[in-house]
């Protein structure tokens, strides 16, 4: 059954659903399945373009600068304040049990395993995913994507693959920077406000940190980078005509990108840390 027939069937069921609530549930479920199928197919075709030549190295470089370099300030600010708040909140909570010594570990594990990748992913989804959807959506409605085809360029290779590759490679680097800045934020608050001994704090941080903590965060970052680029490109690619269509594509890119980040955060955590 193709997209149109699934949607037509969904619409018929939806109309019937005014009388039958089960039909309404069925229509929503069919629409969900059709949407999932479309995005999985888009991802598969995008991946195929990523792993087979030719590659548009210039476009990949441009996207790396756009996604990585220009996201540094927002990711850095998010990381430093997260690390600072984490140290402060942990202290007020843990001092009740006289467990202040655990703060260094709490900060470094929380930042590297969870908060670094998730918050960087969400920030990049807001900044980059939205921009991708807006740019590709505008290219769709102004026929620039059709123009690429007529000029013998595959739009998937030219537009989608460089973004997928760049986001997947760049987000781990961004998260590595965010990890360092986040831990530094916790360090600054712990030393200058809470009166911890600097060398003891650093020693605790290093003692508790294991390679898997950082590696799991970087793997999450790569997955989140791919998801952000995928949702940005997908919604832009399928943007409807007009400013409203592009605006809606941008909103959908940020919302679906954020939801997928949170969903896959659990899945990757489960893969790495479930016993």
Partner 1 sequence: MNQPMIRVRDLRKSFPARRVLDGVSFDVAQGEAFVIIGGSGSGKSVTLKCILGLIRPDAGEIMIDGTAIRPADPGDMARFGMLFQGGALFDSLAVWENVAFRQIHTGALSRTHARDSACETLGLVGLGEDVADLFPAELSGGMMKRVALARAISSRPDIVFLDEPTTGLDPIMADVINDLIVQVSRRLGITTISITHDMTSARKIADRIAMLHDGRLVWQGSAADIDRSGSAHVDQFINGRADGPISMSVLRP
Indicate whether 64 belongs to the interface with partner 1 (CB under 8 A): no
Q: How far is the CB of 88 from partner 1 (least distance, A)?
A: 44
Q: Cβ closer to partner 1: 150 or 199?
A: 150
Q: Cβ closer to partner 1: 4 or 275?
A: 4
Indicate whether 207 belongs to the interface with partner 1 (CB under 8 A): no
For residue 54, how many other CB atoms are within 10 A of its CB? 11
Site size toward partner 1, by CB under 8 A: 15
Cis peptide before 80 (omega within 30 of 0): no
Handedness of CA 136, 167, 44, 55 (dihedral sign): positive
Q: How far is the CB of 162 from partner 1 (least distance, A)?
A: 12
Helix (H) or strand (E) holding 272: helix 242-273
Q: How far is the CB of 125 from partner 1 (least distance, A)?
A: 22
Determine contact, residues 148/155, Cβ cutoff 8 Å. yes
Buried b (16+ CB within 10 A) or exposed e, 42-51: bbeebeebbe
DSSP string for residues in 196-237:
--HHHHHHHHHHH--HHHHHHHHHHHHHHHHHHHHHHHHHHH
Q: Which of residues 126-185 bind partner 1 (CB under 8 A)?
A: 142-144, 146-147, 149-154, 158
d(CA 153, CA 230): 20
Indicate whether 96 belongs to the interface with partner 1 (CB under 8 A): no
Indicate whether 1 belongs to the interface with partner 1 (CB under 8 A): no
Indicate whether 199 belongs to the interface with partner 1 (CB under 8 A): no
d(CA 98, CA 253): 45
Q: Cβ closer to partner 1: 147 or 200?
A: 147
Give the x/- contact pattern for partner 1 in 2-31, rule: CB under 8 A: --x--xx-----------------------
Q: Cβ closer to partner 1: 113 or 156?
A: 156
Determine contact, residues 81/188, Cβ cutoff 8 Å. no
Indicate whether 92 belongs to the interface with partner 1 (CB under 8 A): no
Indicate whether 53 belongs to the interface with partner 1 (CB under 8 A): no
Q: Cβ closer to partner 1: 2 or 98?
A: 2
Residues that bind partner 1 (CB under 8 A): 4, 7-8, 142-144, 146-147, 149-154, 158
């Amino acid at each position: 059954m193709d997209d149109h027939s699934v949607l037509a069937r969904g619409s018929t069921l939806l109309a019937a659903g005014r009388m039958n609530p089960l039909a309404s549930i069925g229509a929503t479920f069919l629409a969900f399945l059709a949407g999932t199928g479309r995005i999985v197919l888009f991802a598969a075709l995008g991946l195929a373009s990523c792993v087979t030549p030719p590659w548009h190295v210039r476009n990949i470089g441009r996207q790396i600068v756009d996604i990585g370099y220009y996201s540094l300030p927002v990711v850095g600010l998010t990381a430093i304040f997260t690390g600072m708040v984490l140290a402060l909140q942990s202290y007020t909570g843990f001092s009740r049990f006289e467990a202040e010594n655990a703060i260094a570990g709490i900060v470094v594990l929380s930042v590297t395993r969870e908060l670094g990748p998730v918050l960087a992913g969400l920030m990049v989804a807001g900044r980059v995913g939205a921009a991708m959807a807006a740019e590709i959506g505008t290219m769709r409605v102004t026929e620039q994507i059709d123009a690429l085809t007529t000029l013998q360029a595959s739009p998937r290779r030219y537009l989608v693959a460089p973004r997928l590759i760049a986001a997947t490679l760049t987000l781990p680097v961004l998260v590595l920077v965010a990890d360092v800045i986040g831990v530094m934020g916790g360090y600054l608050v712990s030393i200058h406000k809470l009166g911890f001994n600097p060398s003891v704090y650093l020693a605790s941080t290093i003692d508790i940190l294991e390679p898997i903590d950082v590696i799991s965060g970087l793997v999450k970052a790569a997955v989140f980078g791919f998801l952000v680029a995928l949702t940005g490109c997908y919604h832009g690619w399928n943007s409807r005509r007009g400013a409203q269509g592009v605006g809606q594509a941008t909103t959908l890119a940020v919302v679906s990108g954020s939801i997928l980040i949170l969903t896959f955060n659990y899945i990757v955590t489960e893969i790495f840390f479930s016993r």
